[in-house]
Amino acid sequence: MAASMSHLLTHRHVLLLQGKMGGFFNRFSSFLQTQDIKVSKINFNAGDAFFYHHDNTYEYTNTLAQFSSWLQAFIKENAIDAIVCFGDCRPHHTQAACISEKLGISFFVFEEGYLRPDYITLQEHGINGYSRLNTAEIKALKKANDQPLYTHNRFYRLSIAAIVYYIIAWLYKSRYPHYSHYRGMTAWQEAIAWLKAPWRKLRGYLPDKQLQNRLIKQESNNYFLISLQVHNDSQITHHSDYRDVVQFIDESIASFAKFAKQKQLLVFKHHPLDRGHRDYRELVASLAERYQVSHRVFYGCDMHLPTLMKYSIGMVTINSTTGLQSVYHKKPTKVMGRAIYDIPKLTDQKPLDDFWQQPKGPDNKFYLRFREYLIEQTQINGAFYGRSPWMYKYLYQNGSETTDVDMSKTNLP
C-alpha cells in the first residue's frame, strides 16, 4: 500500500470534503470505519448528499467567503486530525489546504492515477504543482509492487453518476443557495453536456478510426501527438500559464508551422471526458489554415492513445498524465505547464520551437525508478468507478462495488 494511505490510516478522525461524483467516498468512508477511524463528511450540494449514506454528515450552506472560518471552528470542535478531498484546486479545497497547514493537521488529495490504468492517486499536501515529493529520494527506493490487479473501471458508471449528480444538485439547489460549481457551469448545463457526449461519439467514431488507421499504416513516425485536456481542468487553470486550451492549441500550431519539418504532421487527440463540453475540430481547422498547414494538422477523439503514441515522433501536452504514458513508451515528451514528472531525464526541457526539430527521448532506466517511486508514495491499485482491491475484503464481498447509484438510501428528503 502507498505510503500516503499508510499515513492516512494512522489518523483517528478524518473529515471528507467533496469527492468524485458517485459512490467512491461512500465506500471509502465505510473502509475507514472498518479501520476504527471516525469519519465525518461535509456536503456542499445535493449531489454530494445523494451519494453519501453515513452518519456524521454536515451540510455547508453558507458562502465561500465564510467557509474558512467555519471550517477552522469545525475542525477544532470535532478534533479532526486529517482532511481528505478529491482535487486540491476546487475553491473550498484550496481554503481547506491552507487551514490544514495553519492548524498542523494532515491534508490528503485523491486524484486520477498518475499511472494508468488500475491506479488512483492519493497524495499528501497536494498534487502536480503542489506536490512535495522529493525525487532525490528515488535512489533509496525499495522495489515497488508494480503488479496492479484489474479494477473493472467502466466509463458508463461515470456517465450515469455524473448525470444523476447534476440533476439532483439542480433539483435541490435551493437547499444550498450559495453553492457555485467549481467548473463554472450550472448543474443543468453539465447534465446536458453529458447527454450530448454519446451523440458526438457516434458522429465522430468512424472518421476518427479512419484517421488513426491512416496514421499508423504509414509506419514512418512522421507525426507529433498533442494530448488535450478537459477544458476547465484545474491542472490548466492552476498549474499552467495558459488562459485556456484554445490558447494552447493556437500556440502549438503556430510553433509547429514555423519550426517543424515540412513532411511532419501534427495530430490533436481530444479528451473523451470533454466530448460533450467542447469540440475543437473547427478551431483546429481554422488555425491550421491561418498558419498554412491545413494539409499537415489533424484532429480526433475516438482514437486509441497508446497506439497513436507508439507510431508518433513524440508528444506535447500541457500537463496531462498522458505525458507519463508517452515517457513509458520511450517517446520524447514536451510539457507546457507544470507537472510532477516534468523533470530532466524524463521530459524534453528545450523550448517548444526547438522540440519539433530535435526531440529528446527519456532515460528509460530513470523512468522505471521514478515510476516505482510514484507507486510507493502515491499510487493505489483501484478505480473510482470500479473495484479497489485494497478495500475488497472489507467491502466487496457483499457486492457494494456493483453500483454508484443507490436509489434506496440517500440523505435527501
- Do both 361 and 245 map to the same domain? yes
In a domain, 409, yes or no: no
- Do both 53 and 82 map to the same domain? yes
Could you identify the residue written with the cell 498547414?
293
d(CA 121, CA 68): 26
On whether the CB atoms of residues 284 and 249 are closer than 8 A, the answer is yes
DSSP run (H or E) holding 109? strand 106-112
Query: What is the mean predicted confidence (pLDDT) over 255-278?
Result: 95
At 140 the pLDDT is 61
The CATH number linked to 117 is: 3.40.50
At 230 the pLDDT is 93
DSSP run (H or E) holding 305? helix 305-310
- Asked which of 370, 386, 408 is the last residue of a domain, the reply is 370
At 396 the pLDDT is 57
- pLDDT-derived band of residue 381, with 50, 70 and 90 as boundaries? very high
In a domain, 108, yes or no: yes
- Do both 339 and 246 map to the same domain? yes
Grid coordinates given for 200: 458526438
Mean per-residue pLDDT of the chain: 91
pLDDT-wise least confident of 9-18, 185-194, 227-236, 292-301: 185-194
3-state secondary structure of 337: coil
In a domain, 134, yes or no: yes
In a domain, 405, yes or no: no
Q: Which residues make beta-bridge pairs with 163?
A: none
What total of structural domains would you count in the chain?
Answer: 2
- Do both 117 and 25 map to the same domain? yes
In a domain, 77, yes or no: yes
- pLDDT-derived band of residue 48, with 50, 70 and 90 as boundaries? very high
3-state secondary structure of 312: coil
At 407 the pLDDT is 41
- Do both 349 and 218 map to the same domain? yes
In a domain, 403, yes or no: no
CB atoms within 10 A of CB 137: 11
Residue 12 has pLDDT above 50, yes or no: yes
d(CA 123, CA 126): 6
- Do both 263 and 324 map to the same domain? yes
Residue 137 has pLDDT above 90, yes or no: no
R_g of the chain, CA atoms, integer Å: 22
Query: What is the mean predicted confidence (pLDDT) over 113-121?
Result: 93
- 358-389: buried (b, 16+ CB within 10 Å) or exposed (e) per residue? ebbbbeeebbebbbbbbbbbbbbbbbbbbbbb
- Give the DSSP letter of residue 144: P
- Do both 224 and 153 map to the same domain? no
In a domain, 193, yes or no: no
Query: What is the mean predicted confidence (pLDDT) over 376-403?
Result: 78
For residue 78, give its domain range: 3-177+378-398
- Give the DSSP letter of residue 4: H
Residue 40 has pLDDT above 80, yes or no: yes
d(CA 205, CA 283): 19
- Do both 108 and 48 map to the same domain? yes
- pLDDT-derived band of residue 402, with 50, 70 and 90 as boundaries? very low
d(CA 344, CA 54): 46
- Do both 58 and 41 map to the same domain? yes
- Do both 216 and 290 map to the same domain? yes
Comparing CA positions, the residue from 136, 188, 355 lying closest to residue 258 is 355
Residue 295 has pLDDT above 70, yes or no: yes
Task: Check residues 143 and 26 and name the one with the higher pLDDT.
Answer: 26
In a domain, 406, yes or no: no
- Do both 142 and 231 map to the same domain? no
- Do both 244 and 113 map to the same domain? no
Q: Rounded to whole angstroms, what are the CA distances from 123 to 15, 87, 109, 177, 403?
A: 16, 10, 5, 32, 26
pLDDT in tens, 186-214: 667 777 887 788 889 888 899 999 999 99
